[in-house]
Amino acid sequence: MIKTLVHPCKALQFPVGKIQGPVGKIQGPKQLRSKEPKMELTLAQPDDWHLHLRDGDLLEAVVSHSASHFGRAIVMPNLNPPITTTAAAVAYRESILKLLPANSNFTPLMTLYLTDTTSPIEIKLARRSGAVFAVKLYPAGATTNSQDGVTDLFGRCLPVLEEMVEQNMPLLVHGEVTNPDVDIFDREKVFIETVLEPLVQRLPQLKVVMEHITTMDAVRFVESSKEGSVAATVTPQHLLLNRNALFQGGLQPHNYCLPVLKREIHRQAIVAAVTSGSNRFFLGTDSAPHERRRKECPCGCAGIFNAPVALSLYAKVFEEVGALDKLEAFTSFNGPDFYGLPRSTSKIKMVRTPWKVPESFSFSFGDIIPMFAGETLEWRPSSN
């Protein structure tokens, strides 16, 4: 059914919902006839290699959405104040574990927030802790809570990067330059040229994950790098939406994330890469909840809350290109293989049965709007 969205200014009306052609969302799969048997997929339990769990009320509100689907998650350190020490990471891990349901075996894999003053000793401590699995590079000013991020990667951070090579500790990269003269849609490409390419040349032994890739340039960079040294996470939003989704029927703050959605040709390049079966790409939702009032306001925050729908959306992408046989490697094998961790021996089932995504999740402090709120999805993770 075509919904008509009336823009608040009442001057414009746009059809939204089912979308034709390469605009905001790719078209849905053909409906199965009712007589066809219910389709099921069994997958080794997926892990989320890029997740924002927040702290306080927000952590309590969202953690079960990830814990009910994923076995492990790389937990991003961009809190306020950021998680810059092993001691803080261990304490944050404890606060996450305390909020898990009694029967949950969800394992948070902690990260450190790299700053210009991080010391090589901190990397040794991180490795020794057994709780910290990576270090996150936020260029200062690139995104939410990145104000304490890096300004001098090849200078003040170099000894830390060298220690990370020693400790086989991956560097997780928010790959955007912050120079205001660079067009926001080019920030990833320019980062690859000016930071990532020199970085992998200088430290070829450093393990690098280019997080939440958004461009064909990133796909090319990852594919042309040394296997086992450079990989990438991919979000549901960058697989399913292009930049039209930001403006369709009026400004759509719940589709705003960083790096920002790109042109359709980039989305297609990312879909082709992840569904090719390449082991260099793995699941990282970048689920980044913000309260509704912080999204729907004059200076809205970047971040999409996709934890409740992420597995359904990844299945949709792989199904639409006829590559469901490649889904499990992306969700469950490529990530642990890259990190040198064991693959999960637990299984989950995905069932092909339509379900409606809630319009919002309400909590005492306010609402959180999930990705694809109110829409019907075909694949659903099943709890049994």
The site for Zn ion (CB under 5 A) is made up of 286
Q: Is residue 212 annotated as part of the catalytic site, yes or no?
A: yes
Catalytic residue among 25, 50, 238, 262: 50
Taking CB atoms, the residue at the shortest distance from Zn ion is 286
Which option in ligand DOR, Zn ion, none does residue 144 bind, with CB closer than 5 to 8 A by kind?
ligand DOR
Q: Is residue 356 annotated as a catalytic residue, yes or no?
A: no
Tell whether residue 302 is a contact of ligand DOR (CB under 6 A).
yes
d(CA 380, CA 361): 18
175 touches ligand DOR by CB under 6 A:
no
CB-nearer residue toward Zn ion: 44 or 137:
137
Please write down the HEC assignment for all residues of 318-333: HHHCCCHHHHHHHHHH
Residue from 174, 189, 207, 280 touching ligand DOR (CB under 6 A): that is: 174
**Would the CA dihedral through 23, 189, 239, 362 be positive or negative?**
negative
Q: How far is the CB of 303 from ligand DOR (least distance, A)?
A: 3
Q: Look up residue 139 and give its amino acid.
A: P
CB of 259 to ligand DOR, least distance (A): 7
The owner of tokens 């637990």 is 346
Smaller CB separation from ligand DOR, 238 or 352: 238
3-state SS, residue 246: helix
- Residues 270 and 163: their CA atoms lie apart, in Å, by 32
Per-residue contact flags (x/-) with ligand DOR for residues 249 to 268, judged by CB under 6 A: --------xx----------
Tally Cβ neighbours within 10 Å of residue 323: 17
Q: How far is the CB of 288 from ligand DOR (least distance, A)?
A: 4
Distances (CA, A) of 313 to 12, 32, 97, 363: 30, 17, 27, 24
Binding residue (CB under 6 A) for ligand DOR from 52, 136, 266, 280:
52
Q: Would you call the peptide bond into 81 cis, given omega within 30 degrees of 0 as the criterion?
A: yes
- Binding-site size for ligand DOR (CB under 6 A) equals 11
Q: Which is nearer to ligand DOR, 234 or 350 (CB)?
A: 234
Spot the catalytic one: 262, 266, 286, 295.
286
Residue 65: which of Zn ion, ligand DOR, none does it interact with, CB under 5 to 8 A by kind?
none
User: Has 286 been annotated as catalytic?
Assistant: yes
**Is 136 a catalytic site residue?**
yes
C-beta closer to ligand DOR: residue 230 or 258: 258
Give the CB-side neighbour count of residue 105, counting CA atoms within 13 A. 7
| Residue 288 in the binding site for ligand DOR (CB under 6 A) | yes
50 belongs to the catalytic site: yes
Which CA distances in Å does 320 have to 27, 28, 72, 215?
9, 8, 27, 20
Is 207 an annotated catalytic residue?
no
Residue 69, both tokens: 């689907």
Q: Is 209 exposed, middle or buried (0-12, 13-18, 19+ CB in 10 A)?
A: buried
Residue (115 or 144) nearer to ligand DOR, CB: 144
CA nearest to 199, candidates 208, 187, 190, 188: 208
Nearer to Zn ion, 286 or 291 (CB): 286
Binding ligand DOR (rule: CB under 6 A), the pick from 45, 84, 144, 332 is 144
**Tokens standing for 331?**
């969700």
- Strands annotated E in 163-320: 171-173, 208-210, 230-234, 281-283
Q: Which does 100 bind (CB under 5 to 8 A by kind): Zn ion, ligand DOR, none?
A: none
Q: How far is CA 147 from CA 53, 78, 114, 262, 375, in A?
A: 19, 10, 11, 24, 35
Residue (52 or 207) nearer to ligand DOR, CB: 52
The one catalytic residue in 25, 69, 212, 238 is: 212
Count how many residues are written for the chain.
384
- Of the candidate residues 45, 66, 78, 118, the single one contacting ligand DOR (CB under 6 A): 78
Contacting residues toward ligand DOR, per CB under 6 A? 52, 78, 143-144, 174, 257-258, 288, 301-303
Q: Catalogue the active-site residues.
A: 50, 52, 136, 174, 212, 286
